[in-house]
Chain A
Amino acid sequence: MSLAALRQQLAELVEGTRPALPGLPTGFAALDAVLPDHGLPRGRLTEIAGTPGSGRTTIARQLVATTLHAGWWVAYIDASRTLAARDWAALGAHDSLWVVRPDTPQRGAWCADVLLRSGAFGLVILDGAPALSREIAVRLVRLARASDAAFVLLAPDNQHAGVAGALQLRVQRARAKRTTEPLDLTARLEGQVRAPASPPAPAPMSPRRLLISVEKGGPPARVEVPCAADESRHAARGVRENPQIPDRRGVARRDRNKRGARAGGAGERAIRRGDVALG
């Protein structure tokens, strides 16, 4: 038997005994339960699709937090440069989190290439990059497979990389019952509604629940996960004022005077248009 044949046999043996890699937990137990590897598959592409505002970033942040907590290195490519540092600061204490912000969204795929090729990261997330061509997507998946990394692509709805074996998840906001009475716009248009005597209570935002569907790469399933609303602004520092009371802040007064002098900025036009439409 030749040496090459022996090597081949050994390689097959080693490959055959290689244990199946467990998935990376997503941080949502309900979602982990329906995913094939009980988490995001490693060495494969996971596409998380959804409209802007659907909750993709919240899912991604939970995923990053869970992966960092498990001791993995994580790279997040913010190709659109729209992540807010304040929301990610709690995770920034980890040594093993890198956020890569390329100068143009087109460079996002190149960054993913470098990060996956290094083999140092357990999770690489590409967010906000333009649609990947099939060739580039296949190459990135190959690199992810070589480094056993979970490669996650955050993409708009209906923008799929078209790679075989990819796991496709779709995120959307679950419809919630309205907690406030609908606005009677007709009445306001007719001028029948007067300004309230007391300051109106702020309308609570709709409670958030995210609906995640497994569309491809696993058994079709749909799970609903909770998501806390960001009430920190209004709860902690918000000053709810009666819009009837004039703004007496010094800076605002100074700015208003300037605006008056200019008489016709974009904001003024907007207000006037609002008056015409609804007043």
Chain B
Amino acid sequence: MTVAAARGRCATLEVRDWDELCVSREVARTSAAFLSASPQVAPAAGLPGTWWVGATGFEALGGESALAETLQRMARVWHPSARVGIADSCVAARAATWPADGRWRMADGRNAGTRGIVPSGDDAAYLASLPLSLIPMDAEVREALVALGLGTCGALTALSGGDVERRWGAAGLSAWRLAQGIDPRRPVLAHVGPSRQAHAELALSTTSAEPVLFLVRGALERLMADLIRDGRAAAAVSITLTLDDGRGALPSGGMPHTVTREVRVPRAIARVAPWFERCRALLDTWTLTAPVCAVTVSITAVAPLGAEQGDLLAPAWRDPAAAEAAFERLRSTLGARGVVRPVAKDGYCPEREGLWLGLETVDGGRWTVETATHPPSTVNRPPSTVTLRLLESPEPVTVVASPQGEPRALNWHHRRIPIARARGPERLSGEWWTDSPFARDYWRCESEELEQEFLLYRDAQGWRLQGWYD
């Protein structure tokens, strides 16, 4: 259905962006609704909007036609032209949903019935006259069959199974079997887990994150306690904020405007503090268009609770999940280069002798830095060596120098700093093959007045202060 056609049916239609989380939530709701009609309900893998529903054992409840009618009525809540097909196999049942009037004919001319109900044992005969496009198969096999002029399922099944397997292997054999209605897929008994969701409404709509965080913490504490009781841990948590933009208060009774975001972790955990820090990081970067009036916290993915333990007797042991949560928060606020690790590289200028590389987390609580493009340096400085502090960009300074070029005084930040001793010049030049070659005369200058040692250089632009030793 196109958007225009949908608007023709519903003038107040609201077109929203594709939201995977919203879709999965609706799939779960639809599955739950179908459960009232049959105990075997499974969303079809790879076929969004399709469900396999068990249809055996309904003789005493009006038979298959009553079930089909019930399912169609339920499905049309979500889609105005939802279709139902019943057959012995999934492939035939899906094919039976395709005719708009539900009147596929059998190969021998018999009527297959209304609502696409294929009589039991007639799947092969029903599929025989149908086009091969209804059979899921490998694209290469499909092209080959079309090239051979095979257009219907019956034409495929007329071939020998051995020949099909020899020519197209397992993929061809699988298609050949499906064309005969031999389908291993079956609806399974639906398993409905406990609802891991907490909803809370704010007394007053707010634009501030603090009241929302207060509710989120309470919800997480409750949900995590339930998880631990069940021996589970959370792998994903979603936060749904209900926005107070008046949409839910419309006379037509429209749905309230909600926005949902999800947080996932590499390892499932069932502790409140790390999850709360991640949720806080999410809320910090969440731009809202209206005040928030309600919060829903859901655990959307769970995993068995890990049995790993920290070494509580080692005083230096720290919880890696807590570090990961802090990392997420810092990174969400400061950016990818907010948390860094130093790496040495071979260079001549002080600013090119090392790099700060952004820290990244990897699965299993290990940390790594972003890939360095330079080979590591072999220079190793002992920790007791005096440390250099570098200005982010060298600052121009005025220097009073001797005729030999030796600095004698330095004017920096409106202050004159006499230099007692200067060592240099160390003449460095290089990178003439790039756009930014350099030629500098470095001086280490010691000021007795400030008890400070500066690193200066002079190049074509003049004197610059690059840093100091601390």
Contacts and interface: CB of A to CB of B under 8 A. Distances in A.
A271 B470 contact: no
B386 interface: yes
B400 A249 contact: no
B439 A119 contact: no
B439 A251 contact: yes
Interface stretch (B159-167, B292-300, B425-433): B425-433
Interface in B381-407: 381-392, 396, 398-406
B107 to A, nearest CB: 68
Contacts of B380: 90
B344 A86 contact: yes
Contacts of A237: 348, 426, 428
Given A61-B387, A92-B341, A114-B326, A85 B356 contact: yes
Given A81-B392, A99-B340, A119-B322, A247 B427 contact: yes
A18 interface: no
A136 B291 CA distance: 29
Interface string A22-52: 0000010000000000000000000000011
Contacts of B428: 237
Interface string A85-124: 1111111100101111111000100110011011111100
A107 B387 contact: no
A232 B382 CA distance: 11
Interface stretch (B131-139, B190-198, B232-240, B330-338): B330-338
A198 interface: no
Nearest to B384: A228
Contact of B425 (A57, A91, A243): A243
Contacts of B423: 202-205, 234
Interface string B148-185: 00000000000000000000000000000000000000
A275 interface: yes
A86 B386 CA distance: 12
A86 B354 contact: yes
Contacts of B63: none
B339 interface: yes
Given A58-B470, A101-B338, A173 B326 contact: no
Given A56-B470, A118-B277, A228 B377 contact: no
B152 to A, nearest CB: 63
A interface majority secondary structure? mixed
Contact of B463 (A99, A270, A277): A270
B452 interface: yes
Interface in A204-263: 204-206, 208, 226-230, 232-234, 237-241, 243-244, 247, 249-252, 255-256, 258-259
Nearest to B447: A53
A95 B467 contact: no
B325 A92 contact: no
A6 interface: no
Contact count band on B: 35 or more
B94 interface: no
A267 B422 CA distance: 18
B379 interface: yes
B344 A238 contact: no
Given A99-B339, A100-B339, A232-B379, A86 B388 contact: yes
A114 B330 CA distance: 8
Interface residues of A, number: 99
A195 B463 CA distance: 23
A278 B451 contact: no
Contacts of A115: 326, 330
Contact of A61 (B383, B405, B421): B383
B60 interface: no
B354 A243 contact: no
B387 A85 contact: no
B450 interface: yes
A251 B389 contact: no
Contacts of B351: 84
Given A92-B341, A232-B381, A243 B429 contact: no
B459 A255 contact: yes
Nearest to B347: A86
B83 interface: no
B319 interface: yes
B385 to A, nearest CB: 5
A27 B330 CA distance: 29
Contact of A118 (B326, B450, B452, B468): B326
Interface stretch (A7-15, A69-77, A161-169): A69-77
A180 interface: yes
Interface in A261-279: 265-271, 273-275, 277-279
A89 B345 CA distance: 9
B343 A92 contact: yes
Given A100-B330, A102-B338, A243-B405, A120 B354 contact: no
30 contacts: A70-B316, A84-B467, A86-B350, A87-B381, A89-B377, A95-B367, A100-B330, A100-B334, A103-B335, A103-B338, A107-B334, A111-B334, A115-B330, A118-B322, A180-B421, A185-B408, A203-B422, A206-B446, A228-B382, A228-B385, A237-B428, A239-B426, A249-B427, A251-B439, A255-B459, A256-B460, A265-B462, A266-B463, A267-B461, A278-B403
Please list the 5 inter-chain residue pairs (A to B) with the smallest Cβ-Cβ separation, ordered nearest first. Answer: A267-B462, A85-B354, A53-B452, A255-B460, A86-B354
